[in-house]
Chains A and B, each alone.
Chain A
Amino acid sequence: MPFIPHTEEDVSAMLASIGANSIEELFDEIPAELRTGTLKNVPPRMSEMEIARLMLERAQQDGFYLNFIGAGAYEHHIPAAVWQITTRGEFYSSYTPYQAEASQGTLQLLYEYQTMMASLTGMDVSNASLYDGASALAEAVLMAVRQHRTSSRILIPQTVHPIYRKVVRTIVRNQSIEMVEIPYDPVSGQTMLAQLEEAGQTEFAALVIPQPNFFGVFESVDALTDWAHSKNALAIAVVNPISLAMLTPPGEWGEKGADIAVGEGQPLGIPLSSGGPYFGFMTCKQPLVRQMPGRIIGRTTDIEGKEGFVLTLQAREQHIRRSKATSNICTNQGLMVTAATIHMSLLGPEGLYRVAAQSHANTLTLIEALTRIPGVKKAFDSPFFHEAVLSLPKPASVVLDNLKSHGVLAGYTFDDNYRELDNCLMVCATETKVPADLDKYVELFRQALAC
């Protein structure tokens, strides 16, 4: 029997101990009229050899593409050691570290992770992760509203990832929170300050500040942070962790720094993998720590004075506070954070900087070459990090389809999310692209527009 070790002898002995005649008898408390007959839609079992062949066929059917799509999920090189260590059974198959003495490995690793993320974002404290970047932003919004007390209005620029905005709406929809969207400047691709000023005339709890924003463009983060604080509101930063090797961290934005920073942790050693599992990170300033959702690890000592680690500040959490918890969240993305921590250790500050700088330089080089093609322009005139929007003389689908037939995924198109960016394409070239890849892309792009 797959994954069940019992022999017939075992079963007889166990039933005898129980005092039952059959396994079936153990289900005698389930009313007969509720019992299931045969299962529909469930195929017969496969052996490991058979499922291996099926999965390999399906993987090969999907194949490999040279990928220039970013839009919130980024291809980066992941050192071999990251997932070899992460998938060790002691990490992979361990439970949530509620029994601290039997979980010091995971707990210490999470403490190291918290230290790395707090420093990377320039904040005081970090939790042990949330589900993904989008849900982390939703939790940050809820946290800001709890902290602010008098307002539940949130100002959120349309330069924040469109799916993040949708996810936030889904998660907070029944908590009487008003999400006010702020349009962007069609020339710069940055949040429109005049519209923001107008929206800020009514009290609000927080302003969300993306850096770089969804278009890859840099926002005026210092001014935005100071403006939010001048209105007695919180500043929530949404950041790409790789970019922070180069960019001013949110904790240092403006006079006092942002209050909460969140983002998608995927670029830190997590494969693209069709969208998950990833992890969301959240860091904040010290005074907000007791409003933070999710698991937090603290360093302490045992009764003999030896250093150790435990889950702490649990009075915020659902298993203690039930209906009064800061969130219903009950997991972190433990295994993903394990990978990210090992990834950051292997890269160190220099490696992470090189990845960021090379990704930025590659995209810059690519955009320069593409904008030399007649009719191809940058959609926005602001500087960008490792992703940029191009406006094309033809529908973007022409380029997409053509490059796809050559095994290249050309980029992200905006569909219904930004109707005004109809003939636009967003392109990302991380450090994984070598000069020959960029040359190939430019040549295919030129051909696609020429036909």
Chain B
Amino acid sequence: MLIFEHSRPGRYNYSQSPATRATKHNIPDKLLRQSKPLLPEVSEMDTVRHYTRLSQKNFSIDTQFYPLGSCTMKYNPRACNSLAMLPQFLSRHPLAPEDTGQGFLACMYELQEILKGVTGMAAVSLTSMAGAQGELIGVTMIRAYHEARGDTARTEIIIPDAAHGTNPATAVMSGYKVVEIPTDEEGDVDMAALKAAVGPKTAGLMLTNPSTLGVFEKKVAEMSRIVHAAGGLLYYDGANLNAVLGKVKPGDMGFDVIHMNLHKTFSTPHGGGGPGSAPVGVAERLLPYLPVPIVAYENGAYRWLTEKDRPQSIGRLSAHMGNAGVLLRAYIYVRLLGAEGMHRISEYATLNANYLLAELRKAGFEIAYPTRRASHEFIVTTKGIKDKTGVTAMNLAKRLLDKNFHAPTTYFPMLVPECLLIEPAETESKETLDSFVNAMKEILVEIETQPDMVKGAPHLMPLRKLDEVKAAREPDLTWTPT
């Protein structure tokens, strides 16, 4: 039932808005609204019940295991939320003077410093509101760098075929042509193809390392030499930073610019699809182009650096300071972890992934890159199962929902057929991983004995399989009263 269907004309919550209808106004009649907007007229209790019930129809980290590859679904500590929501932080206006926000700015400055430390970059800007915006910032800076040098012949960005869809979309948004290069049998970037692709038109290379195939690009240093020798720059998509935190720094791998998804590695909530936050770090040569604002510490006080301080900055990406409340949560998280906790994240995320890989392999599942170590994630391909029984990776994923596990990432990366990208974050216990393996084993048996049942999954969710084709062909995007 929709909230609108609980609505009754004239029902109204008296406590939550002004006691009277103010009548004093000087708005010209022709600007006044004639129709009442379609907002529900419901009691506070009905609202609370309705949305509490809706929440109960969601899977979440707080209720289920989410082995979602490339998404790093780790536990979101409660302290990060409650301390970021202290009333003084919530009530601070973004344009309030700097001297009224020194406590907040201290947190932001220290977060910048800590992120510099863990990534090995020369400077960090916190303004980006999501991974894709971090990418846009990065590629825009690469372009600004070439343009400032009068190097305008560079029109191409090289991107491996395993990359996230945001990479090519971002390159195009930044005015570049995308040159896609293939992956070799071992899951690494095809070096011959890379060498053939680089040249005077190369503006840069966008790379995720470990890649979305769940393996570390061993030849990253050589890739860096090849691209740099051709005059291009290297972009690090930090989607998989959780796998190597404290073990290897993007700066040491030769990257010129990176973004870090705080909603992955630094445990800020996914919130059902946002808000994200993706600070951008740069090597020395891109420092002048960093977006503003940036927090500086000078003469005993914190202040915003603006366009005046950074005349070559690519500019602003948000009306104020990016997702400040998300940044506070990440700050609290990194202080709770400390330097020693950073290493542990990648260690236990990698341990969990390799354990799950080993157990699933023993259970009979085919591993896409069997000769490689898993990073913090790995790929199972169910092509053999599909060829034999017709059961797809998506069927298997939906059957996992019936067993109270969120599905792994399916059909991404696109180059592995019938692919399940599995990432168990470091916060999951061995018991949880074992119960997931058991569920996968049960499904293997079900595929043998009752394949049609598996093809029809899910069976135990509030809804069965939803008709996506109908949704796209006859879009019903808003409710209308009947």
Contact = CB atoms under 8 A, between A and B. Distances in A.
B449 interface: no
B88 A28 contact: no
Nearest to A219: B31
Interface stretch (B93-101, B193-201, B226-234, B380-388): B93-101
A174 B173 contact: yes
A43 B338 contact: yes
B181 to A, nearest CB: 14
B303 interface: no
A87 B81 contact: yes
A105 B117 contact: no
A65 B96 contact: yes
A333 to B, nearest CB: 4
A79 B462 CA distance: 31
A281 interface: no
Interface string B329-346: 000101111111110110
A32 to B, nearest CB: 10
B94 A248 contact: no
Say which size band chain B's interface belongs to.
35 or more
Interface string A97-141: 101111111101101101110111010111011011111000000
Contact of A59 (B4, B35, B103, B427): B103
B39 A348 contact: yes
Interface string A272-296: 1111111100000000010000011
A112 B3 contact: yes
A40 B252 CA distance: 13
Contact of B271 (A30, A334, A404): A334
B365 interface: no
Contact of B253 (A34, A109, A175, A412): A34
A45 B92 contact: no
A36 interface: yes
B332 to A, nearest CB: 6
Given A90-B60, A161-B319, A18 B96 contact: no
B34 interface: yes
A360 B172 CA distance: 44
A62 B103 contact: yes
B221 interface: yes
Contacts of A297: 477
Given A62-B102, A330-B130, A348-B12, A106 B94 contact: no
B358 A347 contact: no
Contact of B91 (A67, A248, A362): A67
Contact of B464 (A46, A296, A302, A314): A302
B390 interface: no
B interface majority secondary structure:
loop
Given A62-B89, A336-B275, A364-B24, A166 B117 contact: no
B22 A354 contact: yes
A60 B87 CA distance: 9
B477 A30 contact: no
B274 A334 contact: yes
Interface string A1-13: 1111110001101
B117 A345 contact: no
Say which size band chain A's interface belongs to.
35 or more
B100 A63 contact: yes
Contacts of A271: 90-91, 325
Nearest to A103: B58
B52 interface: yes
B326 to A, nearest CB: 6
B247 A409 contact: no
B445 interface: no
Contacts of A319: 164-166, 412
Given A26-B354, A29-B372, A108 B340 contact: no
Contacts of A94: 58-61, 270-272
A95 B272 contact: yes
Contacts of A246: 25, 27, 32-33
Contacts of A38: 339
A34 B170 CA distance: 28
A111 B26 CA distance: 35
B169 interface: yes
A76 to B, nearest CB: 9
Contacts of B472: 298, 312-315
Contact of A247 (B23, B31, B164): B31
A302 B467 CA distance: 6
B347 interface: yes
A289 B131 contact: no
B258 interface: no
Interface string A28-57: 111101111011111111111001101111
Interface string A241-258: 000111111001000000
B335 to A, nearest CB: 5
Contacts of B153: none
A188 interface: no
A95 B73 contact: yes
Interface stretch (A200-208, A224-232, A303-311, A443-451): A303-311
Given A41-B113, A46-B336, A51-B336, A81 B48 contact: yes
Given A62-B88, A112-B3, A125 B477 contact: yes
Interface stretch (A148-156, A191-199, A320-328): A320-328
B55 A42 contact: no
10 contacts: A3-B337, A64-B87, A88-B55, A99-B59, A105-B58, A248-B32, A249-B33, A299-B471, A302-B464, A348-B40
Given A247-B31, A276-B320, 14 more contacts: A3-B337, A17-B362, A58-B107, A59-B86, A61-B102, A64-B87, A73-B320, A89-B63, A90-B62, A108-B54, A112-B479, A173-B140, A301-B466, A345-B42
The 10 closest A-B pairs by CB, nearest first: A45-B338, A275-B320, A89-B62, A335-B271, A58-B103, A275-B94, A41-B117, A174-B175, A334-B273, A119-B38
